[in-house]
Chains A and B, each alone.
Chain A
Amino acid sequence: MLSEDGIENRHGPPGVNSRSLSSVHSAADLEVLREIEHVYFSPPSEFDAGRHVLENAPSPPTCEAIEQMFTKLKRQQQVVSGKALHLISQQRDNCDREFAEIQNIREQLTKTLETCRQAREHLRNSSNHLIISTFVILANVRKRQIIRSVLKSLELLRSLRSVEKDVADLLNRKEYYEAIELILKSRKAASNHKEYTCIADLATRLQDTLDMTEEKLDSVLSSICYNFDENLFRKLRKAYDLLGKTQAAMEQLHMHYSSAVNETSVEALKLYITEASIDLKFQEMCQSVQPNKAPICLLNLCENLFLIMRSYYLLVNWHIKHDEDETLPTSNNVFEIEKNVSREYIRQKLKAGLIRLWHEVQAKVSTFLKSSGLEEYAFEKFIQMLGILRKLTQVAEVFCGDKSDILQDFIKTQSVSYIKNYHRGRMEELKLFLENEGWEQCPVKSTFNLLNLQEFKQFKKYLSPTKADTSIVKSLSDGASSVHSQDDSVYITKYFNKNTNHTPFEIFRNENVTNDDIFGLEPELEASDESDDEPEELKREFVDEADRHEYSSNHNEKSLESPSRVKESVIVTNTTLSVLRNCGQYLQICRYLPQISLEVVMLMNQLFDYYFYTVHLFFTSDLDVASSTLYTTKLNLVLKRISNSIDTNSGDGDAKSFPCPDLPQHLDMTSEEKLHGLSERIVAVESVIFLAKQYELLQPYLESIVAPHQKLLLEHFKDNTLAVVVDLRMPIYMCSASKSVDARQSLIAMSQVKWDVKAVAVEHSPYVDLLTRKIQVFAIRLDDISSKITLNMTVLKSIWSMVSKFIVHLLVEGFSNATKCSNAGRGLMQLDYRQLFVKLEKISGLKPIPYQDYVDRYVKAYYLPRKGLEDFIREKTEYSNKHLLALIACACENKRDRQALTAIIEGKDVLN
């Protein structure tokens, strides 16, 4: 309480304001109060009033001072107590009021407390409810989250499980890149979820899927070999890029190409071989292909192989283009460098692959050709085969710039062996033709030559006589090489275009394609220009009947009076035409295979030789006149040469010789009425001569197609064989001519003449009439023949020459039989043969009669002096010893001379 007083006192004494006015003493009291030392108002803990007073006791502690102080203190105490009492009473109401206030507040507090308590109670209740539900929610949320993540994993798992299917789908849609991407992603996902046990399984399955996908990619890659699809390849490549296996894929692709070559080759053959032989090696398969199927099989093979080549070609092109498109800037980045290295590697690989692939293709084709019995191909098929190979070499040139020397060589050797085999067949056929030949004149028009034959259509421009030699050379070189190959390469390149389904081999499937189309030879425009006026004739109308009839009627009057007409006739046989046709085919081979021209020409000549030889063989088999003068030296040489190549022992002939034809049984060579087959003989001989002429016509062309140093061979053939055929007329016509008169009968008739007559006769001997009659009969029969066949003057001349040659010899023989002869007898001889020759001239139209010198000289030698006679017998070897001895016996009256000359004649024998 004191402290409160104190505080109030500091602000002023608490009762000053309120009680100063109410009390009369208050002023004095106040004074007293004022006088109280301030220190007394300090709190008792800090101030000890007693001590203070003691300390402040008056210095001389007198009673008075103490009394005074006491009084003062007493006074002060009274005032303070009064004051305090006053104050207390003064504040009592306030206190009561405050107390009441306090009570009030206490009550309020209690109420509040109660409210609070209640509120808390409520709050607790509500909070209890609220927190639990929140927790549930939270917990649920958390759960949901967990489930979601589980679900995600599960979904992942599910998606991982379905990867296989999806990949398959993608693969089906050819989305290789996406497929690989999917797998790789899945793998990554799988590795991120290793915690799942099932993932392990899945991971292996994924690996399997990846492997399978790669296999699938590989199989798609292998399909590229057959048909290069740019889009497909781009996809594949992207996929492989993703796999990081671009290079490996290229290696793989190359292997695929190799196996594609193998497979496609087998595939091409499969259709044409029996089931049993499918498991064989390729070569054996080739051998089991039926020969008649081989050409089509070859075509398939080449076509299939071409498709692979085209695919590879496009692949290489794609790479070139692709490389250009994205040439990477040179970079130091290791990865980039590596990529460039890989790219360069692939580029090299591809470049080398071109050659390698071609070699593989070449090997397949060669194997096929070697074992497919090329020799058995039909001619057309062989030409087609050549065409196919030619195309193939062209393809190769475009493909890899290779000149295909292997194939070229192969073509050459095979061609030679084919043509030889083909030739063998033609020779057999020729033999058959000759043996069956009826030796009838084939009715061709009088201007016929080989150019009229279809087989020679293509050669017309080379053979046309109006053309200068230069044009031949020029057009030949045109047809041969470079110009064409360039065009060809452009042409072939077309087929390497990816947008085409065509192959250069399709042309061979076209039925209407000509060989020239196949070989890309220019069409024969010039030739057709020239033959505008006679295209029909070219085909069929070179056969002409009208001419023949006209001629025949003319001929009956007097053939030799119209030589111009007669000269035009052409005598050919069916076989001649067939030989010529074969020549045409042989020349076609030359056109397509200029490198073997000489071989072919030589074989062509062999056809001629055989024909020539056969005619001689058939039609001189009954030659009964032994006269060395019938055969010229050259003719003998030719016949000898040819007979070396003909196997006369029929049977075990070696490969080089050809069997000798058998003498035909169906020809009537004995009928006298038919002049012992003279008609056939004429047709035979003249057809050989005609054939020789045709060969000669071909010579300039032939010379132009063989190498210059080979020309000599052709010239030799021309000079020593073709030019000699006319000599064949003599021995063959002699066969008939020698039978025109009966030699024995004639000689008997001559022997009945007396040559030792004294006087010169005025009449010729009877045997002359006999001979003349025979000759007349011969002439009539010859006329019959000429109504059947066109006989030109040369033919008639040579026939009559032979007749006269025979008669001349007969006369000499007859004269030499006269052991005795007088001057007049010699005269009679002259008279006789002159008379005979006059008749003969008249009948035969020959003037002068050839060979008459032979008898003339012989008869007149009688008149020679001894010296002349000696020279005569020394020099005239054409007379036999018998003739000469008879001459001497008649001419030499002097016995010594006779013996001397006889000795000379007999000496000649020894000499020879």
Chain B
Amino acid sequence: MLILVTEYLFKFLVIGSAGTGKSSLLNNFIGNKFKEDRCHTIGVEFGSKIVNIGGKSTKLQIWDTAGQERFRSVTRSYYRGAAGALLVYDITSRDSFNTLSNWLRDARTLASPNIIILLVGNKKDMEESREVTFTEASQFAQENELMFLETSAKTGENVEEAFLKCSKTILAKIETGELDPERIGSGIQYGTGTSKRLSAPKKPARMTPECACRV
């Protein structure tokens, strides 16, 4: 049996209104086929993938939430402690774009105010039915300090990039110390096997300023 050694584990959320293609995004990302006629997600589904970010093997634990209102109570309980989130809207649906701020608020209050969120305009392949322009979405992203990408779960365009971009940002924030993996509820854990090796050099680094303060 192959044991994959990972250095980090990030908890991810995929959120957004019903029918925006969240599950398709996730499935595309973890390597499943695109299904044209997919059912609504019930509750929460789960997928994980190990990706390499800047030479670090990182396991993404992705919770794909149901977009339907009726599942809100079920899905909310999964927000806690997520390190990153893909906030998905459908570029062919104005409604899905309009509800973004609600989703955003939920994510920031329920998960963590520091959660790294990437705005995803899905269904890029359906240019002819576009209702939300790239510019206005970019603007929304800028106003709310989100990253932004337009993707197509059908063609796979930008799907991996979306997850990777979000992961990279998290990793960068860990490295600058902005995010502390050891804080409970950070949504970040050290991966299998390497936790000791990894945390060892980290600790003295954090000790130094403390020592400096005391002296």
Binding site for B on A (CB under 8 A): 291-292, 373, 375-376, 378, 380, 421, 429, 432-433, 436-444, 454, 511, 539-540, 543, 545, 573-574, 577-578, 665-666, 788
Contact = CB atoms under 8 A, between A and B. Distances in A.
B39 A440 contact: no
B184 interface: yes
B73 A440 contact: yes
A41 B183 CA distance: 188
What DSSP secondary structure best describes chain B's contact surface? loop
Contacts of A454: 39
Interface string B32-49: 110000011011111000
B77 A666 contact: yes
Contacts of B203: none
Contact of B70 (A539, A543, A578): A543
A454 B63 CA distance: 20
B74 A442 contact: yes
B61 A666 contact: no
Contact of A577 (B40, B43, B61, B68): B43
A545 B80 CA distance: 25
B200 interface: no
Contact of B184 (A441, A545, A665): A665
Nearest to B44: A574
Interface string B63-93: 1000010110110111011000000000000
Given A540-B40, A665-B184, A421 B77 contact: no
Nearest to A665: B184
A442 B43 CA distance: 7
Contacts of B31: 292, 378
A618 B81 CA distance: 19
A787 to B, nearest CB: 12
Interface string B92-126: 00000000000000000000000000000000000
- Going nearest first, the 3 A-B pairs with the smallest beta carbon separation are A438-B77, A574-B43, A440-B74
Contacts of B184: 665
Contacts of B215: none
B1 A666 contact: no
Given A291-B2, A421-B1, A454-B39, A432 B70 contact: no
B42 A577 contact: yes
Contact of A574 (B33, B68, B74): B74
A511 B33 contact: yes
17 contacts: A373-B2, A429-B46, A432-B46, A436-B63, A436-B77, A440-B74, A440-B76, A440-B77, A441-B73, A442-B71, A443-B71, A540-B39, A573-B43, A574-B42, A665-B185, A666-B77, A788-B73
Nearest to A429: B46
A376 B81 contact: no
Contacts of B44: 574
Contacts of B32: 378, 380
B77 A543 contact: no
B73 A433 contact: no
Contacts of B74: 438, 440-443, 573-574
A543 B42 contact: yes
Contacts, number: 67
A432 B61 CA distance: 9
B77 A376 contact: no
A438 B78 contact: yes
B19 to A, nearest CB: 11
A578 B63 CA distance: 13
Contacts of A432: 46, 61
Contacts of B61: 432
B198 to A, nearest CB: 18
A436 B46 CA distance: 11
A433 B48 CA distance: 12
A291 B31 CA distance: 13
A665 B73 CA distance: 18
A898 to B, nearest CB: 58
Contacts of A543: 40, 42, 68, 70-71
Nearest to A683: B74
Given A436-B63, A540-B40, A543-B68, 15 more contacts: A375-B1, A436-B77, A436-B78, A440-B73, A441-B73, A442-B43, A543-B40, A545-B70, A573-B43, A574-B42, A574-B43, A577-B43, A578-B46, A665-B184, A665-B185
Contacts of B71: 442-443, 543
A427 to B, nearest CB: 13
Given A432-B46, A438-B74, A376 B68 contact: no
A376 B2 contact: yes
A414 B77 CA distance: 38
A573 B184 CA distance: 25
A437 B80 CA distance: 11
A346 B80 CA distance: 74
A578 B66 CA distance: 13
Contact of A433 (B1, B39, B40, B46): B46
Contacts of A439: 77
Contacts of B45: 578
Contacts of B73: 438, 440-441, 788
Contacts of A443: 70-71, 74
Contacts of A574: 42-44, 74
Contacts of B77: 436-440, 666
A119 to B, nearest CB: 118
A444 B76 CA distance: 17
A804 B40 CA distance: 43
Contacts of B78: 436, 438
Interface in B4-61: 31-33, 39-40, 42-46, 61
Most buried by A among B40, B42, B68: B42
A754 to B, nearest CB: 51
A292 B40 CA distance: 28
Interface string B119-143: 0000000000000000000000000
Contacts of B63: 436
Interface string B174-191: 000000000011000000
Nearest to A378: B31
B72 to A, nearest CB: 9
A482 to B, nearest CB: 33
Contacts of B39: 454, 539-540
B102 to A, nearest CB: 18
A441 B78 CA distance: 14
Interface string B138-175: 00000000000000000000000000000000000000
A542 to B, nearest CB: 8
B81 A666 contact: yes
B42 A442 contact: yes
A432 B76 CA distance: 16
Contacts of B76: 438, 440
A511 B35 CA distance: 10
Contacts of A441: 73-74
B170 to A, nearest CB: 19
B155 to A, nearest CB: 14
Contacts of B46: 429, 432-433, 578
Most buried by B among A378, A380, A454, A666: A666
A545 B70 CA distance: 7
Contacts of A511: 33
Contacts of A440: 73-74, 76-77
B13 to A, nearest CB: 11
A673 B63 CA distance: 30
B111 to A, nearest CB: 11
Nearest to A420: B1
A429 B76 CA distance: 19
Most buried by B among A378, A421, A436, A666: A436
Most buried by B among A376, A442, A665: A442
A545 B40 CA distance: 15
A543 B81 CA distance: 27
Nearest to B74: A440
A9 B20 CA distance: 169
B95 to A, nearest CB: 19
Most buried by A among B32, B71, B77: B77
